[in-house]
Amino acid sequence: MKKSIVKVVAIASFLFIACQSSPKTDNKDEINNTEVLKAQGISKTTDISFVLAKNYFVKNTIDKLDNPKIETAEKFNEIFGMATTMGRDGKPTEIDFNKQYVIAVVLPETDLMTTIDPVSLQKDGNGKITLTYKKVVGQKQTYTIKPSFEIIVDKTENGTIELKEQK
């Protein structure tokens, strides 16, 4: 009698576990979902890694950028100067334009304390890269600044660049 009860419990446990496992899905569902999202004008985005360039300033001859994507050292040096400071982290971030490019955000000159920082860099299924940044405006200053930042991106992550301010 005890053996038959143990067998019944074992079979019931097996059936319970078998019914609880989720069915396997294949990549067809993911591909179909992606196609549906694209048809609706929605595409999957992936995060792109980047490095924030430090110790650069916007030259006085620059009012605005024609294109936020800078792919050569010559173009970069037309826009930015090096702001070397004392200390271990005083050198400007090195950029290898053979393997990397820069995305820069330069805001108009202002006498308000203004900081801008990158929030995210994402690429959609259509190859568009969106750089989202945050702007914080503070008190009036006795001098003017050109708020800016530059990020360094690997050239394998290529696409058209769109800038988006986070509200």
Domain parsing of the chain, residue ranges: 45-166
CB proximity list for 135: less than 8 A, separation 6 or greater: 107, 114, 115, 116, 147, 165, 166
**Global confidence as pTM:** 0.72
Q: Note down pLDDT in tens along the chain; length 167 residues.
A: 444 444 444 444 444 444 444 434 444 444 344 454 455 555 688 999 999 999 999 999 998 899 999 999 999 999 999 998 888 888 999 999 999 999 999 999 999 999 999 999 999 989 899 999 999 999 999 999 999 999 999 999 999 999 999 98
- 164 closest CA partner among 126, 127, 136, 135: 135
Classify the C-alpha dihedral 35-40-46-52 as positive or negative.
Answer: positive
